[in-house]
Amino acid sequence: MELEKLRETAAEIAARDDVKYLIGWKKGSYGYRVAPAFAEDAEGASDFIFSPLCTANLATYLTLVEKLPLPRGQEPDKRKVALMVKGCDSRAVTQLLVEKGIHREEVIIIGCPCPGMVDPDLLNKKYPETEETAELKWDNDGFVIVRDGEETKVPREELLDEKCQLCRYPNPVVSDIMLDDPVKAWEPVEDEGVKEIEEKAVEGRWDYWQQEFSNCIRCYSCRNVCPLCYCQDCILDRQNPDWVYRSVNFSENTAFNIARAFHLAGRCIECGECERVCPANIPLGKINRKLAREVRDKYGFEPGLDPDAEPFQASYKPDDPEDFIL
């Protein structure tokens, strides 16, 4: 994608009268960092980028906005929010449309066909970042790392993020403007993470998750970053009734994580943000992908593809399989 074209389009949209702001990515404060950016005018969009480090799913900002009480007589700001999306991000937007979390006329969707993101941890381990000018680009068949003006070519497989290896929708499924021609979708690899757990006996799975959930510090980063966890008043925060106690222990951690996973069944669009932000490195993607797979195999349903679809958790067919009901 031409950086110039991106910035030109971004500036044009951010400058529009009917646009409140444009959400995109820009280079972060140091090293490989990329930060979400909000441009309220053309000037603000002048440093927007799209690179293999733009992993963050910006759709979460659509529902994160706090609607503060307005002084009497003041009209709410009804201008649109513009948003840059990759394939996975666009599915989050679509799912939000299905759930009426946002309305179509409230957003402008700028599609970024995505050749795949890098795994930031892997990248840092193999090619430690330097303070100033570290950044990444796509090359024909891989990535190019730029550190202190020096370019290193790396094959795609070496650094491609796990969620991108599994990706089946690299191109935005919904958009108003596309910044580039669609990329050719690739053959997704087998989901080794889910397979590994499926191969375990029930006790083995329990032991595995006991180990993982014991590390959870209940910081709720997973919930806060998730574009589809947007209840203003989350039941897991409530005290009357107290569904999940605040104590950080295996029992309550498990209750929290399982409740979240079930709330996302048939809704999770596998953007992998929960796992990426988890400070305890809990492989949350495995639970969500497992449930997504169950929903896909048993009900033939995939969330975030059709804005007019019936929400999975609220739909019912007389011949739904019930073989998992004891």
| Amino acid present at 107 | V
* Entry field: residues in the chain: 326
Q: Give exposure, 6-18, as e/b (b: 16+ Cβ within 10 Å).
A: bbebbbebbbeee
Rounded least distance, CB 302 to other proteins, Å = 18
Residue 265 vs 305, nearer CB to other proteins: 265
Q: Among 73, 54, 67, which residue's Cα sits nearest to residue 20?
A: 67
Tokens 């389009």, located at residue:
9
326 binds other proteins (CB under 8 A): no
Residues 3-22 that bind other proteins (CB under 8 A): none
Q: Does residue 99 belong to the site contacting other proteins (CB under 8 A)?
A: yes
Q: Shortest approach of other proteins to residue 138 CB, angstroms? A: 37
Q: Which two tokens stand for residue 94?
A: 């679509």
Tell the smallest beta-carbon distance from residue 141 to other proteins (Å). 42
Question: Torsion over CA of 133, 136, 137 and 139, rounded to 10 degrees?
Answer: 120
Closer to other proteins by Cβ: residue 36 or 311: 311
Is 69 among the residues that bind other proteins (CB under 8 A)? yes
Site string for other proteins, 228-257 (x = CB under 8 A): --xxxxxx--x-xx----------------
- The answer to the question of residue 313 lying near other proteins (CB under 8 A) is yes
In the region spanning residues 111 to 140, those forming contacts with other proteins, defined by CB under 8 A, are: none
Stretch that binds other proteins, among 30-38, 70-78, 150-158, 159-167 (CB under 8 A): 70-78
**Interatomic CA distance for residues 42 and 19, integer angstroms:** 11
- How far apart CA 283 and CA 290 sit, in angstroms, is 12
On whether the CB atoms of residues 23 and 58 are closer than 8 A, the answer is yes
Q: Which residues bind other proteins (CB under 8 A)?
A: 67-72, 74-76, 99-101, 230-235, 238, 240-241, 263, 310-311, 313-316
